Structure 1
Amino acid sequence: MKTYLGIDVGGTFIKSALISETGTVSQEKKVATPDNMADFLILLENLVAESKDQITGVGISAPGRIDVKTGYVHVGGALLYLKDLALKDHLEQKFGLPCAVINDAKAAVLAEHWLGNLKEVQNGAALVLGTGVGSGIILNGQLLQGSHFQAGELTFMLRSAGTLDMRNLTGMAASAVGFISRAASLLDLSDKNDGQTVFEAIKAGDNAELTQLFEAYCREIVFMIYNLQAVIDVEKVVIGGGISSQDILIDQVRDIYLKDKRSSDIYDAMFTDLKIEPCAFRNASNMIGAVSLLVNNKR
């Protein structure tokens, strides 16, 4: 059985794992994301070198606008230094292994459509909650790329008829990293990325201000789901990113979606209830989706 190296480049962490051709994940690792191009490439090269004798190829998911055919990163989303990077060519030339590079949210939806909670779904979407918000969209059974590989960049949806300021972007309001940071500040935590402690406090339910903050964050996600449903009439939405491992988040989003929909006669009449689930592979979806391009020969 063939084995591949999956790498998921996030704004805060870079995750990696060995992934079999049937989607089995093993030897997961996580390291902090470098803040410059040179260290980033060294880190990726080290990850590949460590596994080179065990793998058949490398699948990489990353934020931003990426040409999946050439593996060229035009813009790296929140990682501004990932600009005009021929990442696929760089790694293939250095290691002699086939490589696939794809936007992280599009990778997530490919994983879910291949083996996960969007399998056999004709019209669905994956929301990836991280530093910003990405979305991978399946329309009529196919991945929607867009004319410039930008379909599904929900981060850049405007929240109001204001300016193009970052504060007016959906991705800032629905950023998982931003939410954890705000919650950690509310709890007076020294580590503003301590999601585990934040969710322990949310589950305890004894901090009214934190509960209010959490509900407001979940409602931002619900608003995105309503907008997706209005534009492309999806039947199911799955939620990914590290924060999706928290069942309380999925439950709260689902509850708010149904409660708000029932409170609006026109929405309840116009739109069929859609299914909201976590990505089957949770925070491994991006890596599995990137590897699926190699397994299914779609790179």
Structure 2
Amino acid sequence: MDNKHYLSIDIGGTFIKYGVLDHSGNIISKNKKRTSRNIDDLLFDLSEIVEKQSEHISGIGISAPGKVDTREGVIYGGGNLTFLDNCPIVSILQDKYKIPIAVENDGKSAALAEMWLGNLQDVDDGAAIILGTGIGGGIVLNKKLRKGKHYSAGEISFMINKSEEKSDLKFHGFNASAVRMVKTIGEYLGLSDPLDGEAVFKSIISGNDFANQVFINYCDSIAELINNIQCTLELEKYVIGGGISTNKILVEGIENSFNRLRMREPLLQKSIHSPIIQATKFNNDANLYGALYNLLLDEETIDIIKNNENMGD
């Protein structure tokens, strides 16, 4: 089984990223293509990706937005890709290609990547927080990913921190959106592309007052989120990921905000254990690793691969 290769697919809002990995998580090859805007085109694109590799792979791991029923292989909601709602993606592809396939939520996939080969290795209880358009998450308890009976554990985007808001801004994932933070600063600076993260972070580092205040407020919001999870679960470590996390000042800013929060509230210092906060090991490729690990953890998949090997003996 160690010589087998697998196809990992990460369905994102902008790109479908995909790669061939071996059983140890080494990436053999990878590529990406624009995400289509309707279900028929997306399924066609996935089939095209699979067919290029189908003779050389033993299984397919998929990471997708939305709530994912990993047992039935169905995506609900679909995040920003609402056309994925109620899509039985595993059965569609499995009926066609007759190989093991597993799907997992994108935030949970990132957590699985960190559990397997990243900064949550050897951590009993931890969390991955993925900052982007919303906030993805994966909770690890007793060295296992917590999914929940209805697969909604770790959906931290929907934690409410501004109950007075009438709109979706009452939810953490909307008012503490990394994309929203970058866009707010980018528009203030008059950038031709308000979502130019590199230019936005340069303005923060250079000391622009407005940019710094928006950034601090953002870090404060994420620190409050970590505190609220910590009060409930007492985790050892939080790893912060997402494209924005490649900027070192982000994790430093969140850690500073978290420490300020505890300094302001002596009861927190006395009552609640302070966790480690650091960046994820993996950034853009995290979900490729996590999708594969989810596939390899699936007992049915393991049995099928072993049976296929025995038939070849």
Using structure 2 for the length normalisation, give the TM-score.
0.88
Do 1:127 and 1:136's aligned partners in 2 also have CA atoms closer than 8 Å?
Answer: yes
Matched with 1:19 is 21
Work out whether 1:273 is the aligned partner of 2:285: no
> C-alpha displacement at 1:90, in angstroms?
1.2
1:103 to 80, 105, 125: 105
1:81 match: secondary structure? helix
Task: Encode CA deviations 1:123-151: one digit per residue, 9 max, x unaligned.
Answer: 11111112211211111222111121001
Work out whether 1:244 is the aligned partner of 2:248: no
Alignment of 1:1-299 (within 5 A): 1-162=3-164, 165-203=167-205, 205-298=206-299
Q: For structure 1, which segment, 51-60 or 275-284, has the greater mean C-alpha deviation from structure 2 after superposition?
A: 51-60
2:285 match: secondary structure? helix
Q: 1:86 to 1:242 in 2, by over 3 A?
A: same
> C-alpha displacement at 1:254, in angstroms?
1.3
Cα distance in 1, alignment partners of residues 107 and 95 from structure 2: 26
Do 2:185 and 2:210's aligned partners in 1 also have CA atoms closer than 8 Å?
Answer: no
> C-alpha displacement at 1:164, in angstroms?
6.4
> C-alpha displacement at 1:121, in angstroms?
1.2
1:15 match: secondary structure? strand
Letter in 2 for 1:48: V
RMSD of aligned residue pairs (Cα, Å): 1.9
Paired residue total:
298
Unaligned runs of 5+ in 2: 302-313
Cα distance in 1, alignment partners of residues 221 and 190 from structure 2: 24
> C-alpha displacement at 1:43, in angstroms?
2.3
Cα distance in 2, alignment partners of residues 165 and 101 from structure 1: 31
Do 2:243 and 2:283's aligned partners in 1 also have CA atoms closer than 8 Å?
Answer: yes
Task: Encode CA deviations 1:202-228: one digit per residue, 9 max, x unaligned.
Answer: 33x242211111111111111110011
Cα distance in 2, alignment partners of residues 51 and 236 from structure 1: 37
Cα distance in 2, alignment partners of residues 26 and 185 from structure 1: 40
Cα distance in 1, alignment partners of residues 186 and 116 from structure 2: 36
Cα distance in 2, alignment partners of residues 193 and 45 from structure 1: 32
Q: 1:190 to 1:18 in 2, by over 3 A?
A: farther
Cα distance in 1, alignment partners of residues 141 and 63 from structure 2: 21
Structure whose CA Rg is larger? 2
Cα distance in 2, alignment partners of residues 28 and 174 from structure 1: 31
Q: 1:109 to 1:23 in 2, by over 3 A?
A: same
2:87 match: secondary structure? strand
Unaligned runs of 5+ in 1: none
